[in-house]
Amino acid sequence: MVQDSIRTLRARGHRATRPRRLVLEVLDEVDRPVSPYDIQGILLGRGKYLNHVTIYRVLDLLCSLNLAHKMLSSGGFIKCSLDAVQGCHRFLVCQHCGAIREFADEELCHEENEFARNLGFHTEHHLSEFCGLCSRCYNSWLRGAESETGDK
Ligand SMILES: [Zn+2]
Ligand SMILES: [Zn+2]
């Protein structure tokens, strides 16, 4: 909900300005990653205008607060589905249907930090996306593979 995002924004010391509300509204409604230009276009369709520099700034802020995320694979932005909890948010991205599932796993972060520490590296944040098939697409792929072998 946009109201939840606005509450988080305020709780972390930021005002809910008009551009921030508008961008949050768009992110709340779309079901796929969107670019700043997509956001601008959607708003224009509603007779509302924000220049793209403003949209970039708003997205930067939202991402820094975990309210939104920039996808590594597509470069598009999505609303956080984990209530902007602190920590590293990661994604499972289905390459067939585009479904995105978000998760956060502290244990995984610790393991990766340890791995990096052994390489003499101090980690502050992880960005990661898993590319593959969601359970639905994987299952239908399995069924397809079975029926293909059955035909022979
Ligand atoms: Zn998130
Ligand atoms: Zn899928």
Residues 60 and 103 in one domain: no
For residue 31, what pLDDT is reported? Answer: 87
Residues 101 and 50 in one domain: no
Taking the CA atoms of 74, 76, 82 and 88 in sequence, report the sign of the dihedral they define: positive
For residue 151, what pLDDT is reported? Answer: 54
Q: What percentage of the chain exceeds 90 in pLDDT?
A: 91
Query: For the whole model, what pTM was predicted?
Result: 0.89
Q: Which residue, of 24, 58, 82, is where some domain finishes?
A: 82
Residues 122 and 73 in one domain: no
How many domains is the chain built from?
A: 2
- Which ranges constitute the DSSP H helices of 16-152? 18-29, 36-44, 52-64, 106-117, 135-151
Q: Tell me which ligand sits closest to the C-alpha of residue 85.
A: 1
Domain CATH for 111: 3.30.1490.190
CA of 132 to the centre of ligand 2 (A): 8
Pairing of strands 90-94, 129-132: parallel
The CA distance from 74 to 4, in Å, is: 26
pLDDT at residue 152 tops 70: no
CA of 46 to the centre of ligand 1 (A): 27
Q: Which residue, of 63, 82, 101, is where some domain finishes?
A: 82
For residue 150, what pLDDT is reported? Answer: 57
Residues 50 and 97 in one domain: no
Q: Tell me which ligand sits closest to the C-alpha of residue 97.
A: 2
Q: Tell me which ligand sits closest to the C-alpha of residue 27.
A: 1
The predicted-structure confidence for 31-82, as pLDDT tens digits, reads as follows 899 999 999 999 999 999 999 999 999 999 999 999 999 999 999 999 999 9
Residues 72 and 124 in one domain: no
Q: Which domain, by its residues, includes 75? A: 1-82
Residues 124 and 142 in one domain: yes
- Is the Cβ–Cβ distance between 110 and 126 less than 8 Å? no
Q: Reduced to 3 states, what is the DSSP secondary structure of residue 121? A: coil
Token pair in block for residue 24: 């949050």
For residue 71, what pLDDT is reported? Answer: 97
pLDDT at residue 23 tops 80: yes
Domain CATH for 73: 1.10.10.10
pLDDT at residue 16 tops 80: yes
The predicted-structure confidence for 118-127, as pLDDT tens digits, reads as follows 999 999 999 9
The rounded mean pLDDT for the chain is 94
Q: Which residue, of 28, 61, 82, is where some domain finishes?
A: 82
